[in-house]
Amino acid sequence: MHDLFGEAAEQWCAIENRIRSVLSHFGYKEIRTPVLEKVEVFSDTVGEDTDIVEKQMYTLLDQGAEKLALRPEGTASFMRAIIENRLHESAALQRYYYYLPMFRHERPQKGRLRQFYQFGAELINDASAEADAEIISLLHQIYQELEVVEYEVRINSVGCEECRPRFREELKQFLRPKLSLLCEQCQKRFERSVMRVLDCKKESCQAVLKGAPLITQFLCAQCEAHHHDLKKRLTQIQIRYLEDPHIVRGLDYYCRTAFEFTSELLGAQSALGAGGRYDGLSRRFGAKPFPAVGFALGMERLVMVLTEKGKLPSERKTPFYYFAALGPNAIDLLYPIALSLKKKGIWVEMNYDKSKSLKALLKQADRSGSSFTVLVGDDEIKESNAVLKNMNTSAQEILNLGDLEAALFKKGSPIAP
């Protein structure tokens, strides 16, 4: 878990602003859900046998009574919120996004944190392949906007409740004679949720899987048509993709489209962002089924890639004025002017330390990165003057103390007459 401050916090803020801007151009509206949920929100939906629920959830007892979990991912919380607030009932297509911290008790690694931030986008009440293509193109556009191009779009169809049972059976038959070669965890997976074996990152398990049947060979006619339409749309809007039949995703709720954006710049944790369709999830909350599709992107991984490329947006903000007030009388005089200008939207920094020397004040002014420094001491007060120094050119100007605020406002405000 990281602290974020200084220049890094400013860079994050700049990235966040750009992402929010793309999301709003695509018509996505923000939704915020609580950081704590009842544990069932995840165990009944993401899946009891998934790594996230089985090993990675931070849980706690609420006053010793109810079991709560720190949100490990956004989609299940989103769905809970939609259903609880009956937002799905209008039946119209709706678009939402969230930007929230997630918590997973994972083994820390490069690009894998225990508290990390996700931007997620979810589109509900539309089952078409166009909705899936929109979600993929939105994620693509976010990376393009930030000039990240070093990734591959990998897509797959994981079928539906109709086509998956036959595939599971075939996969089991294929794996049964080789069971002892699988890792301990995959041997358990074999019984409980065999498709998850496909997701195992261990080389020994991947070797066993060579030649295994592929889900795409078992798709029912509707899933096949949906997948075909998605590919057609992606081609039409010029998004290059790879078909990767091994993508099953580490969460239980997906059906049909599953996708990942992977980047070699990330090393072992190669997923920049990922998502898919989850039409059946609403039913697990006891609601009538309605279609949904979405993605989540990891902010830390995006920042890693941008850092590697030297493309972190820098929008360093600095004060417009630094008020170098030399002694108590100057502080008395400048204090209300600083506040008044700040209220009018001009960033002013000033010192409150009445014993600071002129040299120390000028050093502080320099360090603040301000555009102008306003210097006032007892001598200036006697002369009814203030010195205004342009910090870029070092040019100095004498201003009259009588109308100092008006003069400073005029210089600092783009809308001042």
Interacting residues with ligand HAM (CB under 6 A): 73-75, 104, 106, 111-113, 116, 118, 120, 122, 271-276, 278, 294-298, 300-301
Minimum CB distance to ligand HAM smaller for 167 or for 278: 278
Burial of 7 from C-beta contacts in 10 A (0-12 / 13-18 / 19+): exposed
Neighbours of 401 (CB within 10 A): 17
Considering beta carbons, is residue 136 or 330 the nearer one to ligand HAM? Answer: 136
Nearest residue (CB) to ligand HAM, 11 versus 50: 50
- Residue whose CB is less far from ligand HAM, 233 or 301: 301
CB of 87 to ligand HAM, least distance (A): 16
Residue 113 vs 338, nearer CB to ligand HAM: 113
The torsion defined by the Cα of 298, 302, 303 and 307, in degrees rounded to 10, comes to: 150
CB of 360 to ligand HAM, least distance (A): 43
Amino acid at 201: K
In whole angstroms, how close is the CB of 259 to ligand HAM at the nearest point?
A: 9
Residue nearest to ligand HAM (CB): 298
Which residue lies nearer to ligand HAM by CB, 281 or 312? 281
What is the C-alpha separation between 339 and 345, in angstroms, rounded? Answer: 10
Q: Residue-wise over 248-278: b if at least 16 C-beta within 10 A, else e? A: bbbbbbbbbbbbbbbbebbeebbbbbbbbbb
Q: How far is the CB of 135 from ligand HAM (least distance, A)?
A: 8
Instruction: State in angstroms the smallest separation of the CB of 93 from ligand HAM.
Output: 16
Token digits for 138?
């939105």
Strand duo 372-376 + 321-325: pairing: parallel
Q: What does the alpha-carbon distance between residue 379 and residue 347 come to, in Å, rounded to a whole number?
A: 26
**Residues 12 and 33 sit within 8 Å (Cβ to Cβ):** no
Measured from the CB atom, the residue of 159 and 273 that comes closer to ligand HAM is 273
What the block records as the tokens of 312 is 């972190």
| Alpha carbons 327 and 253: distance in angstroms, whole number | 66
Task: Using the minimum distance from each CB to ligand HAM, give the nearer residue, 209 or 258.
Answer: 258
Residue 176 or 246 having the CB closest to ligand HAM:
246
Q: Two tokens at 344?
A: 């009018």
Minimum CB–partner distance for residue 299 and ligand HAM (Å): 8
Minimum CB separation of residue 293 from ligand HAM in Å reads 7
Query: Closest CB to ligand HAM among 298 and 412?
Result: 298
Q: Min. distance of Cβ 73 from ligand HAM in angstroms? A: 4
Q: Give min distance, CB of 236 to ligand HAM, in A.
A: 23
Measured distance between the N- and C-terminal CA atoms of the chain, rounded to whole angstroms: 49
Can you list the pairs that 137-142 forms with residues at least 24 positions away whose Cβ atoms lie under 8 Å? 137/234, 137/237, 137/239, 138/22, 138/23, 138/26, 138/28, 138/295, 139/261, 139/273, 139/275, 139/295, 139/297, 140/239, 140/261, 141/22, 141/26, 142/18, 142/19, 142/22, 142/23, 142/297
The phi and psi torsions of 93 (rounded to 5 degrees) equal -60, 135
Minimum distance from residue 206 beta carbon to ligand HAM (Å): 19
And the tokens for 231?
């590919």
Shortest CB 110 distance to ligand HAM, Å:
10
Closest to ligand HAM by CB, 102 vs 399, is 102
